[in-house]
Chains A and B, each alone.
Chain A
């Protein structure tokens, strides 16, 4: 990407449209990186390495894996129109970001999310995973 910008320096491309060209170049470079990564080709050091999850003992690890599979299976039963919204919610995205990404109103997003979460609750309960009782 630096090479692309270096080659474009001083040209009309970069002086006229300014930062817009920089962003287009960055997006293009990112797409190239993703393609290379998927095809197994070596990439530059742009890969993000997530922090390792805290280690669990084997018994806890097995239980977590089983629970994870059950939750995943429950999520898979949610109708396709609502499932991505629930997945985003479970990944920690706020409703505003979901609405912005899909171009939905806040009301539509809230409706889909609440109905999707109700579906998930039902599916989890059917698998014996219920809300925590006090």
Chain B
């Protein structure tokens, strides 16, 4: 006898049995409430009684639908929290990046690795340092807002044609071949 024949014989031989478990016991079986021994006894009856099998499937279908709905709701409720968490982490990372960014207005450990020469013939000029592959020059106003930025491979940057009036300063950041950075002190423009 094959497995499928055995299944066929078993399902055909099912009848309605006596002493059926209560509807609450069927519900407990489906919701996994109560002790395992009781649930196994209920299951043993259900799987050998045509009427209880039918009732079991009815309750099971409702429970399965509720589970699917609950999972979908959980996903929906988690998504805004997840989005908020991502935003917070991103904001935190941005803050850290900004704090680490060399900003002369904060006076954070100014170093004078790069010697600034000054504004000459419409250009800003500074001394080269060994290993530099790029220089970034910035002009900032009195409140620390960058009003001019330019990247250069050599040690000069043409000044913009117009600059706002008021107190202006400038500084240079060099990026070295190994990825590290050096920067100048911030000095007033004359």
Give the interface of A toward B (CB within 8 A). 18-20, 23, 26-27, 30-31, 33-35, 37-38, 46-48, 53, 64-65, 67-69, 71-72, 75, 80-81, 83-84, 87-88, 90-92, 101-103, 124, 129-132
Contact = CB atoms under 8 A, between A and B. Distances in A.
A30 B44 contact: no
A84 B59 contact: no
Given A31-B27, A91-B47, A20 B10 contact: no
Contacts of B30: 101
Contact of A103 (B7, B32, B66): B32
A23, A33, A53, A90 pick with most chain B CB within 10 angstroms: A90
A102 B2 CA distance: 27
Interface of B: 1-2, 5-7, 9-13, 20, 23-24, 26-27, 29-30, 32, 36, 39-41, 43-44, 47-48, 51, 53-55, 57-59, 62-63, 65-66, 69-70, 73
Nearest to B70: A20
B75 to A, nearest CB: 14
B53 A23 contact: no
Binding site secondary structure of chain B: helix
A48 B54 contact: yes
Contacts of B29: 101
A103 B29 CA distance: 11
Contact of A75 (B10, B39, B40, B54): B10
A19 B7 contact: no
Contact of B23 (A35, A75, A101): A35
23 contacts: A18-B73, A19-B69, A20-B66, A20-B73, A27-B59, A30-B62, A34-B55, A46-B58, A47-B54, A64-B13, A68-B12, A69-B13, A71-B9, A71-B13, A72-B48, A75-B10, A83-B44, A87-B47, A90-B10, A90-B11, A90-B47, A101-B43, A130-B1
